[in-house]
A and B are shown apart, each in its own frame.
Chain A
Amino acid sequence: GAGVSQTPSNKVTEKGKYVELRCDPISGHTALYWYRQSLGQGPEFLIYFQGTGAADDSGLPNDRFFAVRPEGSVSTLKIQRTERGDSAVYLCASSPTGGRYHTEAFFGQGTRLTVV
């Protein structure tokens, strides 16, 4: 596809379960970002990949959160032992080169995660 694709669009899970959220970036984009947006708030940075490596994971809230990008394209955000406070929209973005001035970052539509 032409844009950043995130699947699923919506995910409802029970407290304590494990979830995986997938992001397909724009083809050829080396930089990939994950953000989390809670209700009434702006997006909050989680992690940034440059190629296959996590260049900055300082936004991950705790060790229940983990993300991978094994081949430098698709990325998966993994959340273990989900808690109700994890409920949010998880946004993925990609850009051609990354770096500080990622004005060319394109966001996906997000995955709405609800933990019940």
Chain B
Amino acid sequence: DQQVKQNSPSLSVQEGRISILNCDYTNSMFDYFLWYKKYPAEGPTFLISISSIKDKNEDGRFTVFLNKSAKHLSLHIVPSQPGDSAVYFCAASGSTSGSRLTFGEGTQLTVNP
């Protein structure tokens, strides 16, 4: 069963506009969420995280929102830049899963100049 789902395989936005990437989870034991970015032929790179005690975390152009009741989180990138074009993975961990991360399938973001 897919405990973390990213339902949009791809997203295309114009440079300067907002990019919104979505992620849903089913395991109510998850309490820590992360976003990773991956360029081709490179490993994933940590971007931003959020604990379940918060509903928002912001770091520069990147903001993650968490809606626990809906088991949904989103990553907002504003303004989007062409260099943001990459695959974005949502990941989660919980008290019963130790150090393992459960990843979503990823969303390919393309930012057009």
Binding site for B on A (CB under 8 A): 4, 31, 33, 35, 40-45, 48, 55-56, 58-59, 91, 93, 98-110
**Across the two chains, which residue of chain A brings its CB closest to B41?**
A109
**Across the two chains, which residue of chain A brings its CB closest to B101?**
A45
Chain B interface, DSSP helix/strand/loop, else mixed: loop
Chain B proximity of A5: nearest CB distance (Å): 11
The answer to whether B100 touches A43, judged by C-beta atoms less than 8 angstroms apart, is no
Given A91-B43, A103-B34, A103-B46: A33 touches B99 (CB 8 Å cut-off): yes
The answer to whether B98 touches A101, judged by C-beta atoms less than 8 angstroms apart, is no
Binding site for A on B (CB under 8 A): 4, 6, 9, 32, 34, 41-46, 49, 89, 91, 93, 95, 98-106
B105 cross-chain contacts in A, Cβ below 8 A: 40-42
Inter-chain pairs besides A44-B103, A48-B99, A102-B101, 13 sampled, C-beta below 8 Å: A4-B43, A35-B103, A40-B9, A42-B89, A42-B91, A42-B104, A43-B89, A43-B101, A59-B100, A100-B98, A101-B32, A102-B99, A107-B44
What's the Cα separation between A108 and B105 when bound, in Å? 19
**Across the two chains, which residue of chain A brings its CB closest to B102?**
A45
What's the Cα separation between A12 and B98 when bound, in Å? 33
A103 cross-chain contacts in B, Cβ below 8 A: 34, 46, 49
A102 cross-chain contacts in B, Cβ below 8 A: 99, 101
B46's partner among A33, A58, A100, A105 (CB-CB below 8 A) is A105
Chain B proximity of A75: nearest CB distance (Å): 15
**Across the two chains, which residue of chain B brings its CB closest to A108?**
B43
A109 cross-chain contacts in B, Cβ below 8 A: 41-43
Q: Which of A43, A101, A103, A107 has the most CB of B within 10 A?
A: A43
B49 cross-chain contacts in A, Cβ below 8 A: 101, 103
